[in-house]
Amino acid sequence: MACETERTPLGVFKCQLCALTAPYSYQGRQPPDSQSVVLLEESYVMRDPFTPDKGRFLVVGSRCSMCGRLVCVGPECSLFYSKRFCLPCVQDNVDAFPQEIQQDLEKRKVPFTRPASQRSS
């Protein structure tokens, strides 16, 4: 029945901080099949693997606007405040960010590097 038009992945996204990997099928600001939603950064996007709805996407990561590292959107690796910043860059320039964000970081209290949950391959 259901036609299996799987969008073939463009490549594999890999976070340069935590090594998370995910196959992405789109890169840019306007994910296909969702005209009403636009992204505010150039993002690596995959189809949301947790829902059968084909139109749903999931942003997995993008480049840090300061250092250009590829980082995932996980709160241990980056944050978005009108642009994407990797946490190392945020830490280095913490006073450039509003207090709310600083407090958030405090609360998090997790060192930004998550050493090697994935060691090899």
Strand partners for 32: none
Residue 28 contacts another protein per CB under 8 A: no
Q: How far apart are CA 45 and CA 37, in angstroms?
A: 13
Q: Does 97 bind another protein (CB under 8 A)?
A: yes
- Nearest Cα neighbor of 46 from 63, 28, 64, 69 is 28
- For another protein, which residue of 17, 26, 59, 86 counts as binding (CB under 8 A)? 59
CB nearer to Zn ion: pick between 46 and 72: 72
70 touches another protein by CB under 8 A:
no
Contact with Zn ion (CB under 5 A) among 13, 18, 26, 105 = 18
10 touching Zn ion, by CB under 5 A: no
Residues 6+ apart with CB under 8 A from 33: 54, 55, 57
Yes or no: say if 53 and 47 are a contact pair by the CB < 8 Å rule. Answer: no
Quick check: 15 binds Zn ion (CB under 5 A)?
yes
User: How far is residue 111's CA from residue 121's CA, in Å, rounded to a whole number?
Assistant: 24
Q: Binding of another protein at residue 79 (CB under 8 A)?
A: yes
Kind of pairing between the strands at 57-63 and 78-80? unpaired
The smaller minimum CB distance to Zn ion, of residues 5 and 109, is found at 109
Binding residues vs another protein (CB under 8 A): 1, 4, 6, 20-23, 34-41, 43, 46-56, 58-60, 62, 65-66, 72-74, 79-85, 93, 95-101, 117-121
